């Protein structure tokens, strides 16, 4: 049961923007829909929501065709949009009623979520007087106010400060606990790694990676070596090695095998360099994404 997307195609003016995409959300949790800009994520989301017709393929929710009447869904679009001149309460009430909620029920939900997201003080203010981050929270409330079974979050963290990011992460955790099916589209790989059980990476409308995130990472093997030290490490990094990431006090490099890591360790010991961290690890999602999609 849940959401099933099978071999979906969509073209614009002869150009295929979604090419045979298939995936399944068979249990509650977060599914990561990833891809570079223009890869076909938003088109896929719009087809799932039924606001854009697909050329071919099947999209079902609990075995039924996805339609507004069949699915209780919520959507946080990538482009933020609220009525600038309308009071916060009025527009939340408008969307809640449009989504079929009764006035009393909507009023309680508005109060609950506004307090939870720390914007209750602005309830009687026009939206244009709110900060960008707070406007984003309003959008999130619009998406979740009616307790959707299926929630699509398109870049929910863009433009948020760390405190607000933390608040929204808390909301996502609450929704996961409630048993919501969530599709998360984001370029923040750290967050995707944190919450997504399964992922799908799109490139030019085609699926390049799909499946359980841990298994995808395992399939790459422990191919990365992370070294952390306050001493200078540059002399022991081989010239022909692929550099994954370089920070002030650390290097992450791609290794061919474990023996290569052991050789580097021996050199470090020989040179008397004091290490803070030596870790042979799986590649990060960020690295997998760059590998598969190309230049970031």
- Of the listed pieces 45-53, 191-199, 200-208, 251-259, which binds other proteins according to CB under 8 A? 45-53
- Of the listed pieces 68-76, 165-173, 193-201, 233-241, which binds other proteins according to CB under 8 A? 68-76
Q: How far is the CB of 60 from other proteins (least distance, A)?
A: 18
Sheet architecture: strand order including 56-61: 15-25, 3-12, 56-61, 64-65
Size of the site for other proteins (CB under 8 A): 27
CA distance 188 to 200: 14
49 vs 196, which CB is nearer to other proteins? 49
C-alpha distances out from residue 53 to 8, 11, 68, 124, 258, Å: 10, 10, 13, 38, 50
The pairing of beta strand 242-246 with beta strand 250-254: antiparallel
17 vs 261, which CB is nearer to other proteins? 17
Joined tokens for residue 182:
């969530």
Binding residues among 209-228 for other proteins as defined by CB under 8 A: none
Residue choice 82, 109, 172, 255 for contact with other proteins (CB under 8 A): 82
CA distance 207 to 154: 18
Residue choice 86, 158, 188, 229 for contact with other proteins (CB under 8 A): 86
Task: Mark residue 70 as left, alpha or beta (left: phi above 0; alpha: psi -120 to 50; beta: remaining).
Answer: alpha
140 vs 285, which CB is nearer to other proteins? 140
Q: Is residue 97 a contact residue for other proteins (CB under 8 A)?
A: yes
Q: How far is the CB of 100 from other proteins (least distance, A)?
A: 7
Q: Is residue 81 a contact residue for other proteins (CB under 8 A)?
A: yes
98 vs 269, which CB is nearer to other proteins? 98
45 vs 208, which CB is nearer to other proteins? 45
Q: Is residue 195 a contact residue for other proteins (CB under 8 A)?
A: no
C-alpha distances out from residue 40 to 64, 99, 240, Å: 24, 27, 36
Q: Is residue 117 a contact residue for other proteins (CB under 8 A)?
A: no
Q: Is residue 137 a contact residue for other proteins (CB under 8 A)?
A: no
Joined tokens for residue 67:
């339609």
Token look-up 């760390």 returns 162
CA distance 106 to 99: 10
Binding residues among 6-35 for other proteins as defined by CB under 8 A: 13
The pairing of beta strand 56-61 with beta strand 3-12: antiparallel
| Binding-site ranges for other proteins (CB under 8 A) | 13, 46, 49, 51-53, 68, 73, 75, 77, 79-86, 90, 94-95, 97-100, 139, 142
């Amino acid at each position: 049961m849940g959401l099933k997307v099978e071999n979906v195609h969509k073209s614009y003016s002869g150009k295929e923007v979604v090419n045979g995409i298939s995936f399944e959300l068979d249990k509650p949790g977060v599914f990561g829909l990833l891809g570079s800009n223009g890869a076909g994520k938003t088109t896929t989301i719009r087809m799932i929501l039924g606001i854009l017709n697909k050329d071919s393929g099947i999209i079902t929710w609990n075995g039924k065709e996805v339609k507004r009447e069949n699915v209780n869904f919520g959507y946080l679009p990538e482009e933020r949009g609220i009525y600038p001149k309308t009071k916060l309460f009025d527009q939340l009430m408008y969307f809640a009623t449009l989504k079929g909620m009764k006035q009393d029920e909507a009023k309680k939900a508005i109060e609950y979520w506004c307090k939870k997201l720390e914007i209750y003080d602005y309830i009687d203010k026009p939206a244009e007087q709110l900060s960008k981050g707070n406007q984003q929270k309003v959008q999130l409330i619009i998406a979740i106010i009616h307790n959707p079974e299926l929630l699509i979050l398109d870049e929910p963290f863009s433009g948020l400060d760390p405190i607000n990011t933390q608040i929204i992460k808390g909301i996502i955790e609450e929704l996961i606990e409630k048993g919501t099916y969530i599709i998360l589209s984001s370029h923040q790989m750290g967050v995707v790694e944190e919450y997504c059980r399964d992922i799908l990476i799109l490139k030019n409308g085609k699926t390049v990676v799909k499946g359980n995130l841990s298994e995808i990472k395992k399939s790459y093997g422990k191919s990365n070596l992370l070294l952390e030290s306050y001493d200078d490490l540059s002399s022991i990094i081989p010239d022909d090695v692929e550099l994954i990431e370089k920070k002030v006090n650390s290097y992450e490099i791609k290794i061919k095998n474990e023996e290569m890591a052991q050789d580097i360790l021996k050199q470090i010991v020989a040179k008397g360099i004091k290490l803070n961290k030596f870790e042979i690890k799986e590649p990060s999602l960020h690295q997998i994404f760059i590998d598969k999609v190309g230049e970031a």
